[in-house]
Every structure is written in structure tokens, then in C-alpha cells.
Amino acid sequence: MNARGTDRTVAAGAPIVVFDSGVGGLSVVKAIRATLPQAPLVYVMDRAAYPYGEQSESVLLARVPALLGRLAERHAPRLIVIACNTASTITLAAVREALHVPIVGTVPAIKPAAGSTRRGVIGILGTAATVRQRYVDDLTARFAGSCTVLRHGAPALVDYAEARLRGQPADETAPRDALASLIQQPGGDAMDTVVLACTHFPLVAEALQRDAPHPLTFVDGAAGIAARCAALTAGQPWPDRAATGLTLTTGGLAECRDLTGALASFDLAPAKRF
């Protein structure tokens, strides 16, 4: 969750931009709201390319820096949060090279998981694109070398989270199936800690807890991201009171209508076209 930026004057109304392909970044918005309640927010969904977990690396490397560059020009943010593990593990270096705005990325919370496991067996639930990244290999080697680390890409769980926030019928087997795919791997019976390596997954943590066959600790990076945002903005001016956040989408507005209630619960306005 490191960031790179340049010294610059920051206006009190300069927003924090939170970027994801869908609704997953709302789990990060929730943590930022709790830590920085006065922060103006712009939440951006790249719905035209949803889900990122099914996009190629070349597509994301071409798309994400360009979109974030346009957002930086239009909204002059004090920092940008890439609230997506897949986009961060693939594009973070390129985005930081391209933009002169502090960038906070999202990485799987393997370090805290390794510190909390009692039985030395950790599961990682993410998108297929995230769990296969060398970045995850490196984090595992650095922080969980003495642990058994199991991985599973769970696209159905992403769709489950999206459907739940929309109030639509959802595949209620998705949480149980995702956990079973970890537990059925060698050593999985002893798994006691699961890294939620997709920002969608904390939004359905209650369902994962409900369907777990034995007690599990779920770990995600949202609180750490919010703490990093607070550290990077320490001493900067803020409005006396933050207004309702702006929501933008690259997709059609019709597909966002049933998200209006969910967005409002995070103090975000209905989506507008970006």
C-alpha cells in the first residue's frame, strides 16, 4: 500500500478517488469513511470492463493508467486508491510511473494473515488473475514462508457480492463453494485464516462466516488502506463537512439504477457517466 507523489498544494475540497471495476471498492470506501469522515470522495466503477479478474494483463495495463490519468485531470484528487487487488497487482507500477498523484494500491493481506494464523495454514480467496500473480508469490515468500498457503480464484463470489448489493437473486452456494475449494486442497482441513484478496469479498463476509464448516478468521486490507490514506493526507486541509460523494461509471447508467440504495448507504450519490 505504498504511494508515490510530488509535493503540491492541496485544496480543502480535493477528493480521494476510489477506483474499482465494480462495487468491491465500497468495502474500502467504508473504511475510509470511518477513518477520514470529512474526506470528499469520488467513487469510480469501470463497469465497461467488469470484471477485471477476467481481463488480460495487457488490457488492464493499457486501460487502467489511461482512465486514472483522465480522472486526475478532471478531479484534481489529493490521492487515488486503486481499490482492486487485480488492478493493483498488475498495473500499480505503471500507474505510479504515469501519474504525479499519490497512489495507494490494494494487495492481499498475507502479512497480517501470517501473523494471526495459529495452525499455519492460510487460504487466499481472490480473482483468478490475482491468485496467479508473481506478486502474490513474493508476498507469500516474504511473510508466510513457514505457512501452508492455499489459493483459489472465485469469480462466482464476485458475482454473488454484486448481486447482493443490487438486491438481486444471488447464487447462495457461492460462499460455501469458494471455501470448499480451499478446504479440499491438501492441508485445507487445518486452515484457520482466509485472506479476502478481492475487495468484493468483505462485502459478503457474513455469508462466508455463515457457511464456513469450522471457525475461520477472515482478513482483508481495507483498514490498512484507510490508515495509509490518513498518513498521506496528514496536515492537509479538509472541508468542515464532507458532501455526499460522487459516483462515476464507464458503463451504462441503466445497469447502475439498482445500486442507488447501496451507494446511498455509503453516502455516495447515484452513478453518473464517466
The phi and psi torsions of 48 (rounded to 5 degrees) equal -65, -20
- Known catalytic residue: 84? yes
Catalytic residue chosen out of the listed positions 147, 198, 229, 256: 198
Q: Who's near 186: CB < 8 A, 6+ residues apart?
A: none
- Known catalytic residue: 229? no
How many CB atoms are closer than 10 A to CB 258? 13
Tell me which amino acid residue 130 is. Answer: T
On the CB side of 38, CA atoms within 13 Å amount to 12
- The label of the residue with cell 462515476 reads 248
The phi and psi torsions of 70 (rounded to 5 degrees) equal -65, -40
Sheet containing 217-219: order of strands: 148-153, 121-126, 193-197, 217-219
Q: Who's near 201: CB < 8 A, 6+ residues apart?
A: 24, 27, 125, 126, 154, 157, 158, 161, 208, 220
DSSP 8-state secondary structure symbol assigned to residue 22: S
Catalytic residue chosen out of the listed positions 84, 147, 229, 256: 84
Active-site residues: which are they? 84, 198
